[in-house]
Structure 1
């Protein structure tokens, strides 16, 4: 029986990609290549700006630089493969390559969840206890929080990857997606996935949902603290400080929860692809813009950098 099981095991998957319309392939390639290049350029530029300007050497920008690095890795785990698939009739991916792609994508996604929660805590300390901010959020603590986010994301992704790809796959092998994502992988399994789905759900519950609830709780305290401020100008400044982070949280968690926490029976596969494009490809490009457009300190740092570059 084991021999028969091994003989029928799938070793290659076929990705259907974003669209099955041949006339749209070139257009999609140019569009997503442009988005990917902008995501790399803007995130890398933001990292360089933060590291090179001493005025931005604070915990908030320390975490932001690592968020940009995560966005680069997250986008790079999916987009290059997707771009190459536009020119292939059969978008084949080996079982191990599929598992590796999901592992790295899930790792970066879970790290982003943790980093967004850490950044919410950073804003809470800055607003709730500004006099003790530098004491609480000193560099060794910030470094440990970032390291903890990476370790937590790695362990969570390892559990999910093991649970999803430890199942038996005997056919069909067509993944109706543009990358190896776990809901579509589990749906192809020939064995009972119930225990594995529970493990995947628990990881999502413990990391992603806990991070989101922690962010919500932090912002409840932040809002109460801001409303108690006597100065209208101080309240506006505090709200403006949190607006960019809150926007990034809503975009990332809103789209990812729609995909992963919705009942399978209610899933539209086309809608899942659209939402996946948004949180896996568009958000890594949008994050540096969200954090920069209304941020006076980053604008001032950019002006100083340009002034140094133009000076003789």
Structure 2
């Protein structure tokens, strides 16, 4: 069993290594225990694992956000996992993303999801770049896109920025008058909830809203800079995460020669860390099979956990 858990969603995968086949998949909310607490994170982990029938597994790898952030966080996360699966291996979710995209070859991966972090491997050794938290970092991520868009919306209300639909979109999405919405979000600091607004920002940008488009372009610029930073270390570079659902961002980085993966595909990295041997061609087959299985899940689950625009999910290859 492989489990990938971040700030937005948890994906559990039961895999038949002998026949090289996915046997079950489970999806649940965040398992980032540093944000939502250990109790809720463990609940979501168990939910995803139950849906995947992961209790049938004889070995497991958990790749979780928060692992490696500090010694205390790592201890808390490992203790939580041991209660679920005593002999499991535990890694940071960025490590899982790296293995899913680059297997064991040297190269780099940037993962802009709810937050953002990058890893590169050089001479067989992994190095972390970014991941400085959403107050000081997480640039290019969904939380950064949403937070920046809301900041720009306050400028529109104050009359110091050009006209934009962002203030109205904030009111409509968060179902509060603009000032009350901003104050409530500031007090509660629900990273996942705020990040979910990034989908709306992207939709407005696609319709030509100038400020929303500026935000998406700025996110693309940072992602481009990070890709170029990783390229300096050599090897293939990939990008994986929910932000890659944006057509604008995919277009902006299309000339950089990187492979693009979606957030749920990171769970494949857990299989590789568990010892499942595969070539890139076999990884690609698994990624396609996983995509088909994910889109067969109830639409409400996709909306809640993957921030996917359901109307356009089949509109592109």
TM range (shorter): 0.3 to 0.5
Larger Rg belongs to: 1
Structure richer in helix, relative to its length = 1
TM-score by length of 1: 0.33
Structure richer in strand, relative to its length = 2
TM-score by length of 2: 0.33
